[in-house]
Structures are given as structure tokens and as C-alpha cells.
């Protein structure tokens, strides 16, 4: 949270949230977006000025609140990092003349654990702590509320927005709030070859779904040059005789085109689902999170943003599609990271794409 210290200067009193401090401690802290809220502002009308001058009022300094965290974070293994308010769920405290106990549930590393702390003060102060992982229907019901807290926190921020004066409809809705995928045993085109072995999956550096990311592109060593050229444009580098040697790439280097993507997705056309955003804004700014939930554990899935792909790269006015790949990263027997591709998301301006 932050607050304006002086209304006559551009100085903002900002502090890191608990989540921000955790990310800074792990070296993963980056600032990408900023939002503004008027949740602590008092609007009081005045007959002469229109509103009472708020600068004369006393305001509290910026402070952390439970709803500062909106998006669930995960560690390298995909296990969820809980919100601070999830350290104690449904706490029950029982006190007696000489003993007392507190029972509660905590969301820890993607699992919900039932914890019991007892304390006896009859003669000597003694204590006992025990915990047990929750599974089954209790886990499912609790997880539903925990994941919904992300949306609740976002709403509690009371972020200031802009009303589009031209686009009258400011609501947001989906054509379907829930879709179901059924994978049959005889659906061979949905089955991975020898799915029990991670070694059958391409490593991240060979995965075509990462060819659009500069860090994973084929960049052979070249001679020093003063010209501003695209170091990933292999043909131009060869024509300028800038290659230091004949270094062969590990695999194909061409980026995926929309035709390539559509040809791949056509294999799974019978299993695809189309969701329309109607109504929605012109910008279609959305935030999405993907989770894998089993009987007693929840993990956050990884998302690769491939970027925008045009129907026709030669035509700047051609329809473009925003493509995302959803899955999870596993490690093969050689210690190499591999991406298990589960879903492909294509955001298009029309349903036919």
C-alpha cells in the first residue's frame, strides 16, 4: 500500500507488503503494474466548494492489510504459497481449569492440515502439538473457499477504474462459467507416448512452445559488428559472413505460425471448448490463474505466453491471436527441465479462430 505524503509534490509513501518482502528475499521481486484505490478517502460534500478539503484531515500511515495479495504464488515445485489469512482456518479454542487446547486448519504448501495444540498447567507446564493432512470432500470444500479468496481480495482493494464514455457496457460475463473435458481411454490422440517417462518430452530448450522467447532462441556466436541487426536472424547473419563457425542448432529454429498452431489444434477439435466474453470491455484486460487439484493437494500450473500470432505475417492488418500454453514443468532423468503441455489457450477476436 502507499499514500500521498504531500499534495503539492510527487512524493509517495510506499511500503512493501509481506508478499513483496518474501519475493525480495528470494530475489524474485519485480514491479510490473500499479493500481490506485480510494478506499481510505472520505468524500464529503460542501455547498461552496463542492467537497470538503480532505488535506486537513488526519490519515493513518500506509499499512499492510490481508487483501494486499491477490495472485497465488508458487515455489519451484509448483506448491502454493498461502495467503497470510490462511495460516488459521476455523480455529476452535477449548479452555479448562488446568488444560487448554486450540484446534485449527492451515493451508501449507498446497495442503490443508488439521493442527492441534494442547497445554497443561496442572503441575508442570507441558504441551503437545500434532497435525494431520486433510483429504477428500473436506479438502475440496475448503479449497474452493481458499481459491475464491483471490477474487475476494481483488474486490476488497476497491481499485479505481475509468468508465469508457463510448463503450457503454462496462460489465463482464462469460458464455460458460464451467466447462468439462472428458478423456476416454481409447482417445489415442490425447495420450502421450509412454506417458510415465519424462524422458519422452522435449527439454525447454528444444520445445517449440518457447521459440518465441529470446532466452530460448538459437543464437550462434557471431563476429563483433557495429550494425544493429537481429542476432536471431540467421539468414541475414550468414549473408553478412558474421558467423564464427558452423554451429548447428539442436532442433528447428523457425517460430510457430498460426497455421502451424491451427494444424496442431485440429487434431483435438472434438475436445476443444469455446468461451465468449460477452459483455466485456474493449481492452479485455483479464487476470487468470490455473490450478491442479487432486484429493489432498493443490498446485499452480505454469503458463507460457507465446505471444500474438497473426493469420498473415505479411499483412499488418491481419487478425492476431494471443496464445498461451498451460502445463507444468517436470525434471527428466538427466536433470533437464521439461514442460508437460496440458492446455492451449487462444484469445481471438472471433469465435471461428
Which pLDDT tens digit goes with each residue over 175-199?
998 888 877 666 665 555 455 567 7
Q: How many CB atoms lie within 10 A of CB 110?
A: 24
Residue-wise DSSP of 330-342: EE-TTS-EEEEEE
Confidence of residue 325 (pLDDT cuts 50, 70, 90): very high
The model's pLDDT over 35-69, given as tens digits with 9 standing for 90+, comes to: 888 877 778 888 887 888 877 777 777 788 888 88
Rounded to whole angstroms, how far apart are CA atoms 110 and 291? 10
At residue 352, the pLDDT reads: 46
Confidence of residue 7 (pLDDT cuts 50, 70, 90): low
Q: Which segment of 84-98, 139-153, 229-243, 335-349 scores lowest on mean pLDDT?
A: 84-98
Average pLDDT along the chain: 80
Q: What is the mean pLDDT of residues 82-99?
A: 74
DSSP bridge partners of 325: 304, 344
Going from the C-alpha of 275 to that of each of 121, 233, 349, the distances in angstroms are 60, 37, 12
At residue 39, the pLDDT reads: 78
Going from the C-alpha of 273 to that of each of 124, 191, 301, 342, the distances in angstroms are 64, 19, 19, 14
Higher pLDDT, 79 or 144: 144
Rounded to whole angstroms, how far apart are CA atoms 73 and 299? 10
Q: Which residues have C-beta within 8 Å of that of residue 188, sequence separation ≥ 6? A: none
Residue-wise DSSP of 47-58: TTTEE--GGGS-
Rounded to whole angstroms, how far apart are CA atoms 248 and 218? 9
Going from the C-alpha of 73 to that of each of 32, 37, 70, 90, 246, the distances in angstroms are 15, 23, 9, 23, 43
Q: Which segment of 2-16, 27-41, 135-149, 171-185 scores lowest on mean pLDDT?
A: 2-16
The model's pLDDT over 66-80, given as tens digits with 9 standing for 90+, comes to: 888 888 888 777 778
pLDDT at 341 over 70: yes
Burial class (CB in 10 A: 0-12, 13-18, 19+), 338: buried
Q: What is the mean pLDDT of residues 104-112?
A: 86
**Torsion, CA 238, CA 241, CA 246, CA 248, rounded to 10:** -20
pLDDT at 324 over 90: yes
Confidence of residue 319 (pLDDT cuts 50, 70, 90): confident
The model's pLDDT over 27-37, given as tens digits with 9 standing for 90+, comes to: 888 888 888 88
At residue 303, the pLDDT reads: 92
At residue 187, the pLDDT reads: 63
Residue 194 grid coordinates? 509412454
Rounded to whole angstroms, how far apart are CA atoms 22 and 19? 5
Q: Assess contact for 328 and 340: CB atoms under 8 A.
A: yes
Q: How many CB atoms lie within 10 A of CB 185?
A: 7
At residue 89, the pLDDT reads: 78
At residue 98, the pLDDT reads: 64
Topology (CATH) of 83-137: N-terminal domain of TfIIb (2.20.25)
Q: What pTM did the predictor assign?
A: 0.77
Domains in the chain: boundaries: 2-64, 83-137, 188-217+253-347
pLDDT at 115 over 80: yes
Confidence of residue 259 (pLDDT cuts 50, 70, 90): confident
Higher pLDDT, 158 or 89: 158
At residue 353, the pLDDT reads: 39
Amino acid at each position: 500500500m502507499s499514500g500521498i505524503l504531500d499534495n503539492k509534490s510527487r512524493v509517495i509513501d510506499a511500503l512493501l507488503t509481506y508478499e513483496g518482502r518474501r519475493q525480495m528475499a528470494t530475489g524474485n521481486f519485480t514491479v510490473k503494474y500499479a493500481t490506485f484505490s480510494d478506499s481510505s478517502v472520505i468524500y464529503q460534500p460542501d455547498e461552496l466548494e463542492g467537497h470538503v478539503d480532505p488535506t486537513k484531515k488526519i490519515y493513518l500511515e500506509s499499512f499492510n492489510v490481508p487483501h494486499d495479495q491477490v495472485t497465488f504464488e508458487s515455489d519451484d515445485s509448483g506448491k502454493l504459497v498461502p495467503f497470510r489469512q490462511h495460516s488459521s482456518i476455523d480455529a476452535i479454542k477449548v479452555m479448562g481449569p488446568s488444560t487448554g487446547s486450540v484446534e485449527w486448519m492451515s493451508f501449507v504448501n498446497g495442503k490443508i492440515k488439521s493442527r492441534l495444540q494442547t497445554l497443561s498447567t496442572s503441575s508442570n507446564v507441558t504441551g503437545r502439538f500434532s497435525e494431520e493432512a486433510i483429504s477428500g470432500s473436506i479438502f475440496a470444500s475448503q479449497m474452493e473457499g481458499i481459491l475464491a479468496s483471490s477474487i475476494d481480495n481483488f474486490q476488497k482493494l476497491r481499485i479505481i477504474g475509468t468508465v469508457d464514455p463510448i463503450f457503454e457496457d462496462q460489465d463482464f460475463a462469460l458464455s460458460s462459467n464451467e466447462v468439462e473435458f472428458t478423456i476416454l481411454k481409447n482417445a489415442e490422440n490425447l495420450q502421450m507416448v509412454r506417458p510415465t517417462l519424462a524422458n519422452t518430452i522435449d527439454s525447454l530448450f528444444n520445445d517449440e512452445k518457447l521459440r518465441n522467447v529470446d532466452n530460448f532462441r538459437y543464437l550462434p556466436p557471431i563476429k563483433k559488428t557495429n550494425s544493429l541487426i537481429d542476432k536471431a536472424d540467421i539468414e541475414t547473419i550468414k549473408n553478412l559472413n558474421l558467423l564464427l563457425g558452423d554451429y548447428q542448432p539442436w532442433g528447428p529454429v523457425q517460430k510457430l505460425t498460426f497455421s502451424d498452431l491451427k494444424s496442431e489444434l485440429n487434431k483435438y477439435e472434438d475436445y476443444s471448448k469455446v468461451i465468449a466474453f460477452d459483455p466485456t470491455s474493449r481492452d479485455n484486460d483479464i487476470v487468470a490463474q490455473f490450478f491442479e487439484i487432486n484429493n489432498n493437494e493443490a498446485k499452480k500450473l505454469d503458463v507460457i505466453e507465446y505471444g500474438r500470432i497473426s493469420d498473415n505475417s505479411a499483412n499488418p492488418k491481419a487478425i492476431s491471436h494471443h496464445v498461451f500454453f498451460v502445463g507444468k514443468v517436470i525434471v527428466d532423468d538427466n536433470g533437464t527441465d521439461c514442460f508437460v503441455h496440458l492446455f492451449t489457450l487462444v484469445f481471438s477476436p472471433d469465435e471461428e479462430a
